[in-house]
Amino acid sequence: MTDPSKPDAMREHWERTAEQYEAEGDAFTRQFAEEAWRLADLAKGAKILDVATGVGALLLPALRAEAEAHAIDFSSAMVARARRRAAEIDPAAAYRVTQMDGQALTFAQGSFDAAFSIFGVMLFPDPDAGLAEMAHVLRPGGLAIVGAWQSAAGAGPALLFQDAIATLFPDLEFGSPLAGRPPFNTPERMDAAFARAGLAPQAVHHVTRPWATPEADWPRKNAALAFGWSPAWQALGEADRDRVIEAVEARLRTGVQIEATALIGIARKGSSRRNWIGSARA
């Protein structure tokens, strides 16, 4: 059994599911990324970083808006996909997508006008370290924009799997990769996380978008993507997983409509020397 609290297990999860993520996950998350891009309201030509880009949910709208967009992800499979998609918009942009741990960015201090992380930094083993890195690479006055699910159990199909497991196996311990970490799922928590990184909170927006109800065989084909990271799922044997999948399929047949709410928080790096030093890592 893999332990999702270990970074290597998490990376393996994203390496394994990158293809499915591009096919099935990206259309859902990019709705939030596009809104985050709009809310940041950056000037054309802004130099931005997308931390934990996945297959480029934020990177692609930024490139289409003619930003000088850079992106990182720790999964080589995600990076390969984000590069290919970036190159379709601007061949040179592919070279600005690199494999890197968001908790140890290698860009110089003050490199970017804005740093985004959409459903990325919230998953890091140490989200505070991820935010501190974003603060470090921002120029004074630059913006940090973070997207996080309102529910600690994730969003969209993950909630269907969670409900099914809770009903079928009420005694099963429910773990989440977000458990025990400083969450960003209320405006107060988001603001406090920004403040710990030395950033001045500006606004937190609640953004709700639909998860398009999929084909009937979606849960069976995509269980690993939707819920494979969950300790509860990993604790189940094949036969019990089958029961969960059947329960999710039955729920979808009722025509259930699913939507998800994310918090999009925006903070600014201070331009005074005091804030500048305060927000930098040691």
| Residue 62 makes contact with ligand SAM by CB under 6 A | no
- State how far the alpha carbon of 244 is from the alpha carbons of 156, 162, 163, 167, 241, in Å: 16, 9, 9, 9, 5
Count interface residues toward ligand SAM (CB under 6 A): 21
| Residue 102 makes contact with ligand SAM by CB under 6 A | yes
**Is the CB of 18 or the CB of 245 nearer to ligand SAM?**
18
Residues 143 and 114 sit within 8 Å (Cβ to Cβ): yes
**Is the CB of 88 or the CB of 242 nearer to ligand SAM?**
88
Backbone angles phi, psi at 261, to 5 degrees: -115, 130
Task: Out of 4, 22, 24, 26, name the contact with ligand SAM by CB under 6 A.
Answer: 26
Residue of 117, 119, 78 lying closest to 99 (CA atoms): 78
Per DSSP, 86 falls in state H
Neighbours of 85 (CB within 10 A): 21
| Residue 122 makes contact with ligand SAM by CB under 6 A | no
What's the min distance (Å) between Cβ of 211 and ligand SAM?
13
Region of 100-108, 159-167, 178-186, 262-270 interacting with ligand SAM (CB under 6 A): 100-108
| Residue 24 makes contact with ligand SAM by CB under 6 A | no
- The alpha helices in 41-103, defined as continuous H runs, are 59-64, 76-89
| Residue 57 makes contact with ligand SAM by CB under 6 A | yes
What's the min distance (Å) between Cβ of 33 and ligand SAM?
5
Amino acid letter, residue 22:
E
**Is the CB of 104 or the CB of 192 nearer to ligand SAM?**
104
CA distance 68 to 62: 8
- Helices and strands (H, E) in the chain, number of each type: 11, 7
Task: Out of 42, 52, 62, 204, name the contact with ligand SAM by CB under 6 A.
Answer: 52
Which residues contribute to the site for ligand SAM (CB under 6 A)?
10, 14, 26, 29, 33, 52-54, 57, 73-75, 78, 101-103, 118-120, 123-124
